[in-house]
């Protein structure tokens, strides 16, 4: 049970990170990509 909860948390953190990175990429000027 604890292990499953930890992997779920890790997945959530990864999703947060990905969406954050996408937002940052969107806010960058096109020449930076």
Containing structural domain, residue 15: 2-32
Q: Give the count of domains, the chain.
A: 1
pLDDT of residue 28: 82
Are 2 and 10 within 8 A, CB to CB? Answer: no
Count other Cβ atoms within 10 Å, centred on residue 28: 10
| 1-33: pLDDT as tens digits | 688 899 999 999 999 999 999 999 999 877 755
Distance of CA 8 to the CA centre of its chain: 14
> How many angstroms separate the Cα of 25 from the Cα of each of 4, 10, 16, 17, 22?
32, 22, 14, 12, 5
């Amino acid at each position: 049970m604890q292990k499953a909860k930890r992997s779920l948390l890790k997945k959530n953190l990864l999703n947060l990170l990905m969406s954050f990175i996408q937002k940052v990429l969107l806010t960058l000027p096109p020449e930076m990509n």
